[in-house]
Amino acid sequence: MLFEFDADQRLWQDTVREVLAKECPPALVRGVVDEGVDPGPLWRAYVRHGWTELTGSGEAVELAIVLEELGRATDPTPYLATMTQFAPFFPEVAEKGVSGTAVFEGVSAHRDDGGWVLDGTARYVLDGDRADRLAVVTGEGVFTVPADEAHVTRTPVFDPLLHVAEVSFWNVRVADQDRAENADPQRTRHLALTGLALTTVGACQRILDLTLEHVRTRHQFGVPIGSFQAVKHKAADMHVAIERARALAYYAALTIAADDPRRRLAASMAKAAAGECQSLVFRHGLQLFGGMGYTWENDLQFALKRAKAGELLLGGAAEHRALIAEEYA
């Protein structure tokens, strides 16, 4: 496997960064939280740029590049859930710019009058309250359901930009044609884990970027605090943790692109490394900002909260380390 971006991938990364600098600046992110700005136009910009068409296995690395940059920008749209949880089941729907997410557990299906009936409740569904379509994973297959046919309640979380919901199905009827053919829930879960890892890495990179800018401009005793050895050590530790987590996240993306059977372990390794990375980067970033890091006015908070959220969704570092250890026991 090649672990360096080729020329096209580097150009793609530069293009994504340029688009986000224009379409998703920090002012927009803050506006969504403070003023209730609608992120819908931003979502439509992603669709217009073709980012929702990255549904093929061979495009996993290109999708990974987008996800990392969106994590760095603290993306307020349902792109992550749509592309890593819904699109693997129903790519033709996502390609049209329809937002979606997946309900991985808690719902059962049974036959009734030539169709299917869904019952059950799932908690902590990413973007469950604002997705247009739901991909519902059951023991009888994966079904697509309009979101308005489920009872959805948004769950308050510490990240004000993150949408997490409880989704319930009470005798919801679906037809046979709404059942995904050749669905692979395990592969989708691997992609979802990898997507969260990349988002966390991107958020951690944003924390480091803001921290380096701060320690270069904040002066004490007549010199930038970034010149102090203790500050340099913390910044170096943050950089090393991010690079390690990034390498494992892109390795997981490569295994998905190649349909490599190692993708299950690779996804857990990426999620564990990202979780460990955010723990260190969160702590050091907050410390190096001092009292400023605790204030609402500081944009650091959005990256900190997105990084922490990435650790908590779909299992934390400890859970995935245990899965890896069990594999090699």
Would you list the domain boundaries of the chain?
Answer: 7-94, 100-178, 185-328
**Residue 126 pLDDT:** 96
pTM of the predicted protein model: 0.94
User: How far apart are alpha carbons 12 and 5 in whole angstroms?
Assistant: 10
Which residue, 159, 96, 98, is CA-closest to 126?
159
Amino acid residing at 52:
T
Confidence of residue 36 (pLDDT cuts 50, 70, 90): very high
**Nearest to 62, CA basis, from 22, 21, 128, 11:** 11
CATH class of domain segment(s) 185-328: mainly alpha
Give the CATH superfamily of 100-178: Butyryl-CoA Dehydrogenase, subunit A, domain 2 (2.40.110.10)
State residue 1's pLDDT score.
52
Phi, then psi, of 171 in degrees rounded to 5: 55, 45
Q: What's the CA gap between 260 and 204, in Å, rounded?
A: 28
290: Cβ–Cβ under 8 A, 6 or more apart, which residues?
none
Specify the 3-state DSSP secondary structure of 278: helix
Confidence band, pLDDT 50/70/90 cuts, at residue 2: low
Element (H, E) at 284: helix 263-289
43-52 pLDDT tens trace: 999 999 999 9
pLDDT of residue 82: 97
Predicted confidence (pLDDT) per residue in 152-178, tens digit:
999 999 899 999 999 999 999 999 999
Give Rg (Cα) of the chain: 20
